[in-house]
Amino acid sequence: MFEATTILAYKGAKGSVIGGDGQVTFGNTVLKGNATKIRKIGKEGNVLAGFAGSTADAFNLFDMFEKCLDGAKGDLLRAVIEFSKQWRKDKYLRKLEAMMLVLDRKNIFLLSGTGDVVEPDDGKIAAIGSGGNYALSAARALDKFASLDEEALVKQSLKIAGEICIYTNENIKTYVIWDEKR
């Protein structure tokens, strides 16, 4: 595990949400508290992506993934497979300590710098970064025992992670793709 940020993705009954904290650290120093580490991508903005790892590499990886998504004509599964192949083959990128979460209304995937493509067991909640396990645990509990909408669940889970993980703050940003029938 590396010291990074916290990104949480949740695919609920009425919408898909990705959220992340805003803290950028260098060693034991906070460099920035309000960074945006998540994006809406694709021609329709119907895919959500988040990144944990080196901030400098995030833009290249987002752009690389978006090209794969465009090449796959918006098919997220095809795009993640192509992206993982490219990431694994690139001599520089495969050495990154980085991960991405991507989701749409049908799929949710965790992508690692070693070329792994992982779909969560429950098919709906995934988290990465230093506070990922805290956010994942909170999201699973809230999903099971609370009656929050998708965005509120992600925000509350990240807030809990921010209270525990020193590499995660409570400056939370989210993007949502809601179903038309909400």
Comparison of pLDDT for 114 and 172, the residue scoring more: 172
Other Cβ atoms less than 10 A from the Cβ of 26: the count is 10
pLDDT at residue 3 in the model: 66
Q: How do residues 82-103 score in pLDDT, each as one tens digit?
A: 998 888 887 776 667 788 999 9
The two three-digit tokens of residue 67, written as one number: 């090209």
Choice among 5, 6, 25, 168 that is catalytic: 5
Q: What is the pLDDT of residue 94?
A: 65
For residue 55, indicate whether it is catalytic.
no
pLDDT digits (tens, 9 = 90+) for 18-63: 999 999 888 788 888 898 899 999 888 999 999 988 776 777 788 8
Terminal Cα distance for the chain, rounded:
38
Band (80; pLDDT cuts 50, 70, 90): very high
Q: Do 7 and 130 contact (CB within 8 A), yes or no?
A: no
**What is the DSSP code string of 98-135?**
-EEEEE-SS-EEEEETTS-EE--TTSSEEEEETTHHHH
Q: Is residue 182's pLDDT more than 70?
A: no
pLDDT of residue 5: 85
The counts of H helices and E strands in the chain are: 4, 11
In this structure, are residues 74 and 46 in contact, taking their beta carbons and an 8 Å threshold?
yes
**How many beta carbons lie within 10 A of that of residue 84, not counting itself?**
21
Contact 24, 169 (CB under 8 A): no
Task: Give the confidence band of 77 by pLDDT, cuts at 50, 70, 90.
Answer: very high
Does the model's pTM come out above 0.75? yes
How far apart (Å, rounded) are the C-alpha atoms in residues 61 and 41?
12
pLDDT tens digits, 115-171: 789 999 999 999 999 999 999 999 999 999 999 999 999 999 999 999 999 989 999
> How far is residue 111's CA from residue 100's CA, in Å, rounded to a whole number?
5
Q: Which DSSP string do the residues of 47-108 spell out, in sequence order?
A: EEEEEES-HHHHHHHHHHHHHHHHHTTT-HHHHHHHHHHHHHH-TTGGG---EEEEE-SS-E
pLDDT of residue 51: 92
